[in-house]
Amino acid sequence: MVEILVLAEHRGGQLRDITFEMLTKAINLSSKLGAEVISIVLGKDVKSFAPTLAEYSNRVLLVENPLFEHFNSDLYQEVLSRVIRELKPLLTLIGHTSYGIELAPRLAASLNIPLATDCIDITFENNSLIVTRQMYGGKVNVRAVVRRSESYMVTVRQGSFMVQKPSPPLGGRIEELSIPMERVVLRKRFIKYVPPPPGGVDITAADIIVSIGRGIKDKSNIPLVEDLAKSLGGVLACTRPIVDKGWLPSDRQVGISGKTVKPKLYLALGISGSFQHILGMRGSELVISVNKDPKAPIFGYSDYGVVEDLFKIIPVLKMKIDEVRARKE
Amino acid sequence: MDIIVCVKHVPETAEAEIRIDASGRDIEKQGLVFDINEWDEYAIEEAVRIKEKFGGTITVITVGPEDADSTLRKCLARGADRAIRVTDPKISGSDAYAIAKILYNVIKGMRFDLILTGVQASDDESALVGPVLAEMLGIPHATMIKRIEFRDGKAIVNRELEGGFEEVLEVDLPALFTIQTGINEPRYVSIMAIRRAMQKEIKVLSLMDLGLSEEDVSETGSWIRVKEMFTPPAEKKVEFISGSPNEVASRIVEILRRRGLI
Ligand SMILES: Cc1cc2nc3c(=O)[nH]c(=O)nc-3n(C[C@H](O)[C@H](O)[C@H](O)COP(=O)(O)OP(=O)(O)OC[C@H]3O[C@@H](n4cnc5c(N)ncnc54)[C@H](O)[C@@H]3O)c2cc1C
Ligand SMILES: Nc1ncnc2c1ncn2[C@@H]1O[C@H](COP(=O)(O)O)[C@@H](O)[C@H]1O
């Protein structure tokens, strides 16, 4: 039997979206390959996940142990390397998340099976595994061939596959695996979680967001966009480099490691549109982008685009908005 | 504390107009400005800060062409003590996994307490060299690190999770950490410091020096091989607004008005 193994990811007692995105892709691949979809979930208390996972899998493997209360890639590696060695799945899918980035490369290297990271598509063609992934900050896509192997591993980019609940549900068999962990010596130990610092402004509640990226060039230009945001009755947000430089506080960051926003208007100024940023603003109703690079990836996620120096647009735009506002009053 | 930092010399592409080359498998590199990978700049800065606190040495290693010396010199100017470059025409076609193998062979005989890499290289965005290298060396690792401290001979690190959350881990030394942007504020390096670094020696190694053959690296020794490169399909159909800034602004105002946004 050909198998596709999917590592279910969960945090704070909830299965994360990436789990269902991967399972959807696995089901899709399995129908072409005649494969079985097997999900595996590790945790202190994971039985409650089983019914949901069973809807999307032919088999569900539960590995419960108090040691798995918090994610630790060393423990996951111990369990998964045993399971993969025994099962020899054709393909193992892991999320390209903060957990997957920590786990997958090392696991693949230890098993000596080839890994393709951060993939947005996966196909089998003539017995070869072909993946699609991005390079150069999302400016190009590549199709890459993975070295021939009996078993492959792929980490999947979040938000790449739209979740489709199989109907009827697959009704997978639920199995509990017991894997002895007594002998495992941990060289890396979880201490605690640190939540994001309480913020002053909640950008997720805003209808209008003016967002800036590295194109803003200098801290001294921030008042310019603050004024524009004010005129629009919106809030100012930004990409990660702006926070890294300390130009705006971290509660203003949009993206995978920041906030997810869904405003009525997202005005993107000098933002290239790397996927880590896109994941945080994709749900915006209207996206207008200004970027001097016509090939900036952000345009692929925008309703309207302006290829221009943002410093030429902002002052005029602010003036015109103020005019409209003044006329209304 | 003896620290090794792996750095990659990469083209700056965020603002450049990039074109796919004749092979259809890579971008046209000519005319692009190369510099240290953004993540590695934070890694070298972190190493220097640790050295300033605890003493020790910093060795920087790159696998790349002779041009990569400018990246190594920047690291020397920042405070690294030694620089090693692995250069060999046979390395061409190597993916991140093959690069990790090369770095392993450079490092395996060396003495160190800490290895720092970037989370990812801005060109291939694999995010795998660090953890694979740690596996080969048999040392613990942690990725996406935003803070490093030391207590009782162990490292206490903050790892970034999604949504602004972090987790704190205690890790035995020697260890490898992949450094995330924002962990520090990389210092400004003066032209004088770079000039002084020009005098420092850069040790150059070939595959043969490392006991590796072409099959170990290149496409044969890699996990993946690029078949074709293309422009990403757009998710939304964008309408470009052109004209003078005045015309563009009027059009945007019109769009916003129609939607009742102003
Ligand atoms: C694990 C991980 C998590 C991450 N999380 C996030 C996240 O949550 N949020 C996030 O944003 N990023 C995140 N990143 C970083 C991300 O990969 C990019 O580096 C970042 O989004 C780029 O920000 P930017 O668009 O501001 O800068 P750049 O990519 O440098 O783009 C700047 C843009 O400005 C344009 N420009 C320059 N000057 C002008 C001008 N005068 N007028 C008009 N346009 C101009 C340029 O053409 C370019 O397109 C993460 C990365 C990793 C690895
Ligand atoms: N050619 C290279 N030479 C030295 N270090 C590298 C090289 N390629 C990648 N690295 C290191 O590995 C990190 C992650 O790269 P990658 O796995 O390719 O995304 C980088 O930030 C560097 O620290």
Tokens 């070298």: give the residue. Answer: B44
**Candidate from A218, A238, A247, A291 with most ligand 1 atoms within 8 A of CB, to mutate:** A291
CA distance B38 to chain A (A): 10
CA distance A43 to chain B (A): 17
Amino acid at B13: T
Number of domains in chain B: 1
ipTM over 0.95: yes
Q: Which residues, at least 6 apart from B53, have a Cβ–Cβ distance to it below 8 Å? A: none
Does the N-terminal peptide bond of residue A294 adopt cis geometry, omega within 30 degrees of 0? no
Question: For residue A188, which of B63, B140, B167 has the smallest C-alpha distance?
Answer: B140
Task: Classify strands A140-146 and A265-269 as parallel, antiparallel or unpaired.
Answer: unpaired
CATH number at residue B171: 3.40.50.620
Interface probe, candidates A94, A189, A194, chain B, greatest B C-beta count within 10 A? A194
**What is the distance between the alpha carbons of residues A62 and A178, in angstroms, rounded to a whole number?**
9
Would you say residue B245 lies in a domain? no
The string over B17-47, giving b where at least 16 C-beta atoms fall within 10 Å of a residue's C-beta and e elsewhere, is ebebeeeebbbeeeeeebbbbbbbbbbbbbb
Taking the model in full, what pTM does it have? 0.97
Would you say residue B69 lies in a domain? yes
For residue B233, the tally of other CB atoms under 10 A from its CB is 7
Would you say residue B204 lies in a domain? yes
A25 CB within 6 A, ligand 1: no
The string over A214-251, giving b where at least 16 C-beta atoms fall within 10 Å of a residue's C-beta and e elsewhere, is bbbeeeebbebbebbbebbebbbbbbbbbbbeebbebb
pLDDT, mean of each 10-residue run, chain B (262 residues)? 98 93 95 97 98 98 97 96 98 97 97 98 98 98 98 97 96 98 95 90 98 97 97 95 97 97 94
Q: Which residues, at least 6 apart from A168, have a Cβ–Cβ distance to it below 8 Å? A: none
Would you say residue B230 lies in a domain? no
Would you say residue B225 lies in a domain? no
Question: For residue A251, which of B78, B147, B163 has the smallest C-alpha distance?
Answer: B163
Amino acid at A290: V
- Report the pLDDT value the prediction gives residue A198, as an integer from 0 to 100: 84
Phi and psi for A19 in degrees, rounded to 5?
Answer: -60, -50
The domains located in chain A, with CATH, are 3-176 (3.40.50.620), 203-328 (3.40.50.1220)
Would you say residue B41 lies in a domain? yes
Amino acid at B6: C
A309 CB within 6 A, ligand 1: yes
Phi and psi for A168 in degrees, rounded to 5?
Answer: -70, 160
**What is the distance between the alpha carbons of residues A254 and A276, in angstroms, rounded to a whole number?**
9
Range of the structural domain that residue B139 is part of: 2-216
B7 CB within 6 A, ligand 2: yes
Contact B126 A118 (CB under 8 A): yes
Ligand nearest the Cα atom of residue B178 = 2
Would you say residue B248 lies in a domain? no
- Report the pLDDT value the prediction gives residue B26, as an integer from 0 to 100: 95
- Report the pLDDT value the prediction gives residue A182, as an integer from 0 to 100: 86
B5 CB within 6 A, ligand 2: no
Q: What residue's CA is closest to ligand 1, atom 51?
A: A276
pLDDT, mean of each 10-residue run, chain A (329 residues)? 96 96 98 96 97 98 96 97 97 98 98 98 95 96 97 98 97 95 92 90 96 98 98 98 97 97 98 97 98 96 98 98 90
Would you say residue B252 lies in a domain? no
Contact A312 B245 (CB under 8 A): yes
CA distance B228 to chain A (A): 5
On whether the CB atoms of residues A58 and A173 are closer than 8 A, the answer is yes
Helix (H, G, I), strand (E, B) or coil at A120: strand
